[in-house]
Structure 1
């Protein structure tokens, strides 16, 4: 009886330690599919592109624009994060263009004003929602007014 009680305590302590060391993520990654309806303003601020993708954010209406540049079997993705003045992520996600090479797609988001929006162009697998490691270009930043 004593051995099983000690074993239970050891297992419980191990489980608690494992849970306590996992970093918490206060936000859920939003996965959006971009559509064919373009943003009305047409103003865009492009992040540096990759060999397979370009991504843009238009602060007038909070539009993401994603261009698939290459016929490679992967989807173009705009990876984005909404951050406060301290750099803490408030929201974040991915906007996917799964429609193939040469297509340009748009997604309207409702993002908070006066926060930083960071985004990058990436390539990924739409079916699994996984971005290919090393496929993202440099992040671009803008203050959403």
Structure 2
């Protein structure tokens, strides 16, 4: 009888642990390098954010990001982004897109976001080699819809 109780308690603890792990790992994170293939048509509207290190723009039509390095400092420029489910305000996907081409080089990345979801992004400097984002260089978050 005592062994059955212990097994029940341990089984409950294991299930609770699995639920916690499952919820914590629900956010999908991606790290990608942008490339030099721009969007094929002129954008009708862009949502942009910039600071002293660079500029990042999001084009809703086609879910494109554009990133430019605007500081000769030896660091890569990146856009950090997060896709938020509007009903619960929960972050579902997030990631970074890196421009490693250098000063004044434009780079692009096409994504696939759920239409109507909230998209937040900011531009930062970082170290591509170890994927370290230098938080002190980041702009404010820009909020738009995908």
- For Structure 1 versus Structure 2, the TM-score category normalised by the shorter chain is 0.7 to 0.9
Count of residues in correspondence between the two structures: 126
- Comparing 28-37 and 75-84, the one that deviates more: 28-37
User: Once the two structures are superposed, what CA deviation does each residue of 1:16-70 show, in whole Å capped at 9, x if it has no partner?
Assistant: x9xx7xx9242232011111111124322211x1211111110100001110001
| Distance across 2 between alignment mates of 1:96 and 1:68 | 10
Q: If the length of structure 1 is used for normalisation, what is the TM-score?
A: 0.79
RMSD: 2.1
Which residue is 1:40 aligned to?
40
Which residue is 1:87 aligned to?
89
Matched, 1:75 2:76: yes
User: Once the two structures are superposed, what CA deviation does each residue of 1:66-111 show, in whole Å capped at 9, x if it has no partner?
Assistant: 1000111100100000001122001010010001011110000111
Which residue is 1:129 aligned to?
131
Matched, 1:114 2:144: no
Matched, 1:141 2:143: yes
Matched, 1:100 2:102: yes
- Comparing 23-32 and 106-115, the one that deviates more: 23-32
Structure 2: gaps of 5 or more residues: 1-16
Q: CA deviation at 1:133?
A: 2.3
Structure 1: gaps of 5 or more residues: 1-16
SS in 2 for 1:134: helix
Query: Where is the helix percentage greater, Structure 1 or Structure 2?
Result: 2
Do 1:41 and 1:60's aligned partners in 2 also have CA atoms closer than 8 Å? Answer: no
| Distance across 2 between alignment mates of 1:68 and 1:92 | 21
